[in-house]
Structure formats: structure tokens, C-alpha cells
């Protein structure tokens, strides 16, 4: 089913359509190579999975170059985001509420969404599943669970550490450390804990500075443009160690996310001169999140705060990613080091085939690396893919 979605800044080669998948009508953006393939040979498939608060649109700058390299490139609006909606709904957008069932947002179901997408596209193999931010977690689980289907994986901005151990407590480390963060001076809280509250969605949907200005500030402070982003490894998972993270990761206890980032809102001149996220492009995010709210994405963080929603992953405890893996992020991205020890565990234990040259931090880029430095990202991806 085709879509009339017409995003500014979206290359004309990128098409928009819907696919019925499980309980969803999934909105995808896709770009296909111009070279012809016969009826028995399809171009290799790449699946691109966005993070929070992002959309399939976040991949707009890399899709055409990847398709020009011979790949069928597909980026879905994942469950709870953008134009993807539950099939039972007749309105254009799916506005999820805090009181709804969390089960559809548990990780195993999110990975199953992507497996189902692959088959709905008519494929039985994927050259690479590529995930950014929270999408990195989904991509990692796809490669861990179905190495027969996903031939390689690229983890972007968020290190992947595998399935939980059978003995892992149902109370995740972030929740365990919350009390200690609150005793600091000044008292602090982890952003995942904040995102799990009933108030977070309303805070971000109705910020005092306006939704567009809030999103501009949020994307700015996590980008390479913000001068205070100079990340380094943290030595331990403790309140004092995590307090070294920027306020957008470990917030002041009594502030909302809009209050946290408002102090670093770029000037009107800085916003006007932003080449990687123009005001017209930002308006796409503003318009869509105004309709959907943020709860669909926030529900994933709520699942992270309650180990019951990952119990079904324990059957994969100890399993490694057997397929070739790459980690790709910005050199100015604190997301790489926000969880102490995660990078080391990913490289030394979880991913059996992550080469030294496939741990890449792009110079000058922050968290939104595929938007900030798309040419460098495409170059890294193609180098990795062509070696497989």
C-alpha cells in the first residue's frame, strides 16, 4: 500500500508505503538500486532502525547512497512511532497512552516486528540490520537470535551487551542506582527513570518553550555542535560516576527534560545555520510528534526499568553475536560511554566478530551521527558491507 507522505528534504528516490505486519500497518521508507536484478535475484537488503526521538526519516541522508551501492534499503517507523499504527485504528496517527499494555513494547516483540518485516518484503536474508540509539538494541537482538536471517549487524551510538543472564535481578541497574542519585548534591535522576514516569510524555508534548524549540534544543545538546560534549570512559556504575554525565543523561532531580535542555537552546542564527538538521527538516519531527506524542518510544524505556519485560530473553543468556558486527558512533557522543563497561563487554564478549577497524567514532559528530556526518557513515557502512 503506497503512501502520499511527502517529507521535505527526502530525496525523490526514496518512496513511502505501508505494509501489514502482525497487528500493525507499518510505514516504511525505501530506496532501491537503479541497476536491474532478474526475477530470481533480488538486491541485498539493508534494514535501518531508528532510535528515540527519531523516525524512519532520520535515515534520509544515507538511504540513496546505500541504494546506489546496490542495496535495497528499508527504514521503518518502528512500533509506536510516526505513521506506523495499530491496524484496528482508523485515524492517521496512533497516539499511545501511558495506561496501555506494555507487552507489545518488550524487546522480543520488537525484534519479532523486524523479522516479520523482512518476510513481508519477500526476503529470507538481510545483508545487515543497522540500528541507531534504541534501534541498536533491537538490531543487536535480531542478530543474536536470528543469525540465519541477519548476515551482519551495525550497532550505532548505543553499545549492545546481549541478553540478560538467568540470575540477573528483575530490578535493572538504573533503577537500583536511582536512590543513590537522589542523595547527591544537587540531587539527580537518570533519564531512563524519568522517561518511565507518567508525566514524561505530557512534559515533552507541552513544553513551555514550545515543541519545536524543545526538539531543537534536545537535538542540539546531544550533537557534535554542543561544545560540552567531550565524552570519556566512566570507571564504575555508581552514582558519583554517573553524575559526570551531561544533564540530558543524569538530570537534576526536580527538572523535566524540556527544563533540562532549555538553557542550551541554540540561538536563532545557530538554528538557521544548522546544515545537518534544517528548520524545515526539524518541522517534520515537530509535526509528527505533535500528533503521536512520545509515549510509544517512552514505553521502551519503561520496559527497561522492569526486568519482567525481558524475562523471555533469558533463554538466550550467554549467546554471542556470531555474525560480523560493527559499532559506529560520533566521537562527541556520550551515548558510547553512558553505561560503564558496556563498550568493553560488547567488543570482548558479546560480538565474536567485531574487528578493531570496525569500532568507529566519527570525528566531530555527536549522537545523531547518520544525520550529522552522512557521507562518513555511508563510507564506513559500505566498507564493512563489502568485506562480508
Give pLDDT, residue 37: 60
Specify the pairing of strand 359-362 against strand 325-330.
parallel
pLDDT single digits (tens) 70-88: 999 999 999 999 999 998 8
* Beta-strand pair 45-49/128-132: parallel
Query: Which contacts of 10-15 are long-range, i.e. CB under 8 A and separated by 24 or more positions?
Result: 10/57, 10/60, 11/60, 11/63, 11/64, 13/63, 13/64, 13/67, 14/60, 14/63, 14/64
Decide if pLDDT at 4 tops 60: no
DSSP of 67-100? HHTT-EEEEE--TTSTT-EETT--SSS----TTS
39: pLDDT strictly greater than 80? no
pLDDT of residue 34 exceeding 90, the answer is no
Which letter, b or e, does each residue of 150-169 get, where b requires 16 or more Cβ atoms within 10 Å of its Cβ? Answer: bbbbbbbbbbbbbbbeeebe
Q: How far is CA 44 from CA 41, 138, 150, in A?
A: 9, 20, 11
Of 375, 215, 186, 376, which is closest to residue 283 (Cα–Cα)?
A: 215
Confidence grade of residue 141 (pLDDT, cut at 50, 70, 90): very high
Amino acid at each position: 500500500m503506497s503512501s502520499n507522505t511527502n517529507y521535505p528534504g527526502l530525496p525523490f528516490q526514496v518512496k513511502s508505503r505501508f505494509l501489514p505486519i502482525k497487528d500493525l500497518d507499518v510505514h516504511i521508507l525505501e530506496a532501491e538500486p537503479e541497476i536491474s536484478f532478474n526475477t530470481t535475484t533480488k538486491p541485498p537488503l539493508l534494514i535501518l532502525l531508528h532510535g528515540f526521538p527519531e523516525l524512519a526519516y532520520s535515515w534520509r541522508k544515507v538511504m540513496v547512497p546505500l541504494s546506489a551501492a546496490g542495496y535495497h534499503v528499508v527504514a521503518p517507523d518502528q512500533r509506536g512511532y510516526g505513521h506506523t499504527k495499530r491496524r484496528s485504528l482508523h485515524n492517521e496517527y496512533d497516539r499511545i497512552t501511558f495506561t496501555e499494555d506494555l507487552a507489545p513494547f518488550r524487546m522480543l516483540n520488537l525484534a519479532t516486528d523486524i523479522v516479520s518485516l523482512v518476510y513481508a518484503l519477500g526476503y529470507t536474508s538481510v545483508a545487515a540490520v543497522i540500528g541507531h540509539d534504541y534501534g541498536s538494541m533491537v538490531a543487536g537482538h535480531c542478530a543474536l537470535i536470528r543469525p540465519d536471517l541477519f548476515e551482519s549487524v551495525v550497532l550505532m551510538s548505543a553499545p549492545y551487551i546481549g541478553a540478560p543472564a538467568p540470575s540477573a535481578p528483575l530490578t535493572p541497574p538504573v533503577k537500583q542506582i536511582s536512590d543513590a542519585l537522589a542523595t547527591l548534591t544537587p540531587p539527580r535522576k537518570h533519564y531512563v527513570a524519568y522517561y518511565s514516569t507518567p508525566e514524561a510524555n505530557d512534559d515533552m508534548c507541552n513544553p513551555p518553550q514550545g515543541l519545536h524549540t524543545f526538539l531543537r534544543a534536545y537535538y542540539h545538546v546531544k550533537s557534535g555542535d554542543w561544545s560540552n560534549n567531550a565524552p570519556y570512559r566512566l570507571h564504575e556504575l555508581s552514582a558519583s560516576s554517573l553524575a559526570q554525565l551531561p544533564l540530558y543523561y543524569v538530570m537534576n532531580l526536580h527538572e523535566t527534560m524540556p527544563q533540562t535542555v532549555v538553557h542550551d537552546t541554540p540561538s536563532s542564527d545557530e538554528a538557521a545555520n544548522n546544515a545537518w538538521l534544517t528548520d524545515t527538516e526539524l518541522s517534520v519531527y515537530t509535526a509528527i510528534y505533535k500528533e503521536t506524542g512520545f509515549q510509544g518510544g517512552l514505553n521502551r524505556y519503561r520496559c527497561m526499568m522492569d526486568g519482567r519485560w525481558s524475562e523471555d530473553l533469558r533463554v538466550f543468556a550467554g549467546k554471542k553475536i556470531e555474525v560480523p558486527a560493527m559499532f559506529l558512533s560520533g566521537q562527541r557522543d556520550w551515548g558510547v560511554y553512558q553505561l560503564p563497561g558496556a563498550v568493553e563487554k560488547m567488543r570482548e564478549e558479546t560480538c565474536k566478530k567485531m574487528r578493531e577497524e570496525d569500532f568507529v567514532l566519527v570525528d566531530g559528530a555527536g549522537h545523531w551521527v547518520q544525520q550529522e556526518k552522512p557521507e562518513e557513515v555511508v563510507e564506513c557502512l559500505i566498507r564493512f558491507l563489502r568485506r562480508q
